[in-house]
Amino acid sequence: MGQSLRLGPALCWLALSAPALADTPPTTQDLHLDPAWLTLMHYQQDTLGGGFTSQADDSAFFISDQGKHAPKAELEATLSAIQQPGSGDSHAQCRFPARTAWLKGQLNLSLPAVDCPAYESWTETLNTETVTLVFAASYLNSPSSMFGHTFLRLDPPQDDDETNLLLANTISYAADAAAHDSEILFAYKGIFGGYPGITSVQPYYEKIRLYSDIEHRDLWEYRLNLTQAEVDLLIAHAWEIRDHNFDYYFFDENCAYRLLALIDVARPGTNLLGEVSTHAIPSDTVRWVVDKDLVSDVYYRPSAATSVTYSLESLPEEQQTLAAAIANGYVDPNAQEIQQLAPRQRAHVLDATYDYVRYQSEADGWPREFAAPLSHNLLMARSDIDDAPAPQSPPQPEIRDDQGHNTFRASISAGQQAHREFTELTLRPAYHDVLDPPAGYRRGAQLQFLRLDARYYTDNDELQLEQLIGVEIRSLSPRDQFFSPLSWQVGFGGRRSDNGSKRVLTPYLEGGAGGSWLLGNHLQAFAIATADLEIDDDLRRGYDAAPGADIGLLHQGNRLSLIAGAKTKAWIVSSQHRQDEVYIKGNWHLGRAFSLFAEFTREDHYDRYQSTWQTGLHAYF
């Protein structure tokens, strides 16, 4: 950097301020409004007034004192600073290599050569040829992981046997939460600000351990088609933001957001940040990156959980039983039943059992006194088998997470409630329910945010808020002989509730837990014990609570998704009465952008029978 010409800084400055000779004189006149400069400095246009504010919350990120709000002053200060003589890591050229490179290119500057030992050793160590965007997908029984997570992997040149992606470094941006903060405080500060966001560099194997082994999340690796020059700029900018604070906000300025900014810097004009409106869901940000033709190829890395499930499923049935028996300590890994298997099959059984024991130890906390000697015996037995093929890795899902339906849903429908006709409009900003097109999402998982249903009753021209869901999470994870996850649900919001005389909008809180069992490829049965709480001044005591149950069948197919079941609730506080309901709801998927839906419920409440039916169209965008 800066090693071509060695003109004095004073001369440079003169040339800049009096650009009279060149045919198209480079000028700083409007350079501070260049999108590339605004991106490099993380400036965003203020909502009010025409000013700019940088998202960097750290004075050391700027050279000018007014840098946070003054793109022009910052640009001028930077220009002057990078042309100062001097050397060493504290020189502006060393602290801000991406800005230096960009200004140099824009203004044809001849900068003094500056030695930056720290930066140079950093880039040399990172040794990056290509950049890969890694997306950590959600895991079934953890709908809270549904939004996913993204980070960048810096891949070394892959021209010989010496390269290994496990050792490649990654760049990620995350909230630097104090370990002692409670989850409530964590959520509060995350939403309203208060956590510094930090950029960290870690080897990929550490990331794999966290996401793939501990959190059971599959990883999708999207190799970006950045040129070497663009990669260098990205690395240079990562250096600039590395130790600086950008306040972290879960919904918009989150892990994914800052990475988009890095890509925007690397390839000016990409403007990925322009896609962000109110929130940046990591899986959506992956879509944008794909849509902007930034991806050259995609690689799937199944999590430990996915691999062990696949490995167990691909065993013949009697060997599955054998694996379960070994894992539970009923059969020794060297027992006769195992020894008599052909070497290849024995290897498969031992491999699958070992992976299962490790998985259960991590996920279910099997005690070490039991799991460690068993693990050791399994590996000892396995090491005696030569030349058995490595376990097959699970196939890549046909539909990637970023190829699933879009997360914003709007629906229009018509129906009838107790003989009153209505039309209904529903808006749901995020994310997925069990009847939406399942491809690219985890089966049985549901996460809805801020869903609003508005009804217009045609008989008396009345517009009513039917329900407003704050959050609704549902996780129906099937149980089998190896895994016994809990199915659970939780939600809160406001909904119309029949108080005997009229339907009033009532705040509610609901939850439930139970089990779910696979009956076929796409079909599962579930049984959930539920609890409901409603608060309303029309109720005799101001609130009411109901234990209950929800039992049903769920089919999730690429063409048709269907749920049918029966719910019962026994209200016990303000008034003692039963509320029973049978329901069937179906969505017919027309590609991934639209679904036709219909639902019917019949309810017995306050000893009255009532039917509701409704049919309409969901659109995803």
Partner 1 sequence: MKKLIAGAILLGASSMALAQPGCGVGAMIWKGQSGIAPHVLAATTNGTFGNQTFGMTTGTLGCQTNESVQSMALYMDSNIDKVARDMSRGSGENLDTLAVLLGVDAADRDTFRKVLQDNFATIFPSSDTTSGEAVDAIVALLEQNQSLSKYVAA
Q: Footprint of partner 1 on this chain (CB under 8 A)?
A: 124-127, 142, 144-147, 149, 156, 160-164, 166-169, 174-179, 183, 186-187, 190, 195, 198, 200-203, 205-206, 209, 214-215, 248, 250, 254-255, 347, 351, 354-355, 358, 361-362, 368, 371-373, 375-376, 378-380, 382-383, 386-388, 390-391
Q: Which of 6, 376 has the CB closer to partner 1?
A: 376
Shortest Å, Cβ 144 to partner 1: 4
Q: Which of 10, 379 has the CB closer to partner 1?
A: 379
Shortest Å, Cβ 108 to partner 1: 34
Q: Which of 92, 136 has the CB closer to partner 1?
A: 136
DSSP state at residue 446: E
* Alpha-carbon span 293 to 270, nearest angstrom: 10
Shortest Å, Cβ 381 to partner 1: 8
Residue with tokens 């322009």: 274
Shortest Å, Cβ 493 to partner 1: 18
Shortest Å, Cβ 198 to partner 1: 8
Q: How far is CA 216 from CA 142, 308, 568, in A?
A: 9, 11, 34
Shortest Å, Cβ 254 to partner 1: 7
Cβ atoms of 507 and 487 within 8 Å: the answer is no
Q: Which of 135, 288 has the CB closer to partner 1?
A: 135
Shortest Å, Cβ 74 to partner 1: 30
Shortest Å, Cβ 442 to partner 1: 14
Q: Which of 9, 470 has the CB closer to partner 1?
A: 470
Shortest Å, Cβ 183 to partner 1: 5
Q: Which of 367, 591 has the CB closer to partner 1?
A: 367
Closest C-alpha among 299, 275, 294 to residue 135: 299
Residues with Cβ < 8 Å from 477, sequence gap 6 or more? 140, 141, 444, 483, 485, 486, 487, 516
3-state secondary structure of 447: strand
Q: Which of 306, 561 has the CB closer to partner 1?
A: 306
Residue with tokens 């945010």: 449
Burial 127-153 (b: 16+ CB within 10 A, else e): ebebbbbbbbbbbbbbbebbbbbbbbb
Q: Which of 165, 549 has the CB closer to partner 1?
A: 165
Burial 441-475 (b: 16+ CB within 10 A, else e): bbebbbbbbebbbbbeeeeeeeeeebbebebbbbb
Q: Which of 458, 484 has the CB closer to partner 1?
A: 484
Shortest Å, Cβ 575 to partner 1: 35
* Alpha-carbon span 28 to 72, nearest angstrom: 9
Cβ atoms of 83 and 111 within 8 Å: the answer is yes
Q: How many CB atoms lie within 10 A of CB 229?
A: 11
User: Which amino acid is it at 335?
Assistant: A
Q: Which of 217, 585 has the CB closer to partner 1?
A: 217
Shortest Å, Cβ 388 to partner 1: 7
Residues with Cβ < 8 Å from 468, sequence gap 6 or more? 450, 451, 452, 453, 493, 494, 495
Instruction: Say if residue 297 is exposed, middle or buried (CB neighbours under 10 Å; 0-12, 13-18, 19+).
Output: exposed
Q: Which of 48, 178 has the CB closer to partner 1?
A: 178
Q: Which of 109, 347 has the CB closer to partner 1?
A: 347
Shortest Å, Cβ 373 to partner 1: 5
Q: Which of 254, 411 has the CB closer to partner 1?
A: 254
Half-sphere exposure of 438 (CA within 13 A, CB side): 22
User: Which amino acid is it at 13?
Assistant: W
Q: How many CB atoms lie within 10 A of CB 308?
A: 27
* Alpha-carbon span 608 to 586, nearest angstrom: 25
At residue 42, what are phi and psi to the nearest 5 degrees? 60, 35
Shortest Å, Cβ 281 to partner 1: 11
* Alpha-carbon span 212 to 189, nearest angstrom: 27
Residues with Cβ < 8 Å from 160, sequence gap 6 or more? none
Cβ atoms of 150 and 401 within 8 Å: the answer is no
Q: Which of 246, 248 has the CB closer to partner 1?
A: 248
3-state secondary structure of 219: strand
Shortest Å, Cβ 345 to partner 1: 15
Q: Which of 12, 349 has the CB closer to partner 1?
A: 349
Shortest Å, Cβ 379 to partner 1: 4
Shortest Å, Cβ 215 to partner 1: 6
Give the sign of the dihedral formed by CA 102, CA 103, CA 108, CA 113.
Answer: negative
Q: Which of 52, 222 has the CB closer to partner 1?
A: 222
Cβ atoms of 379 and 410 within 8 Å: the answer is no
* Element containing residue 414 per DSSP (H, E): strand 409-417
As a dihedral over the C-alpha atoms of residue 249, residue 35, residue 54, residue 135, rounded to 10 degrees, the angle is 20
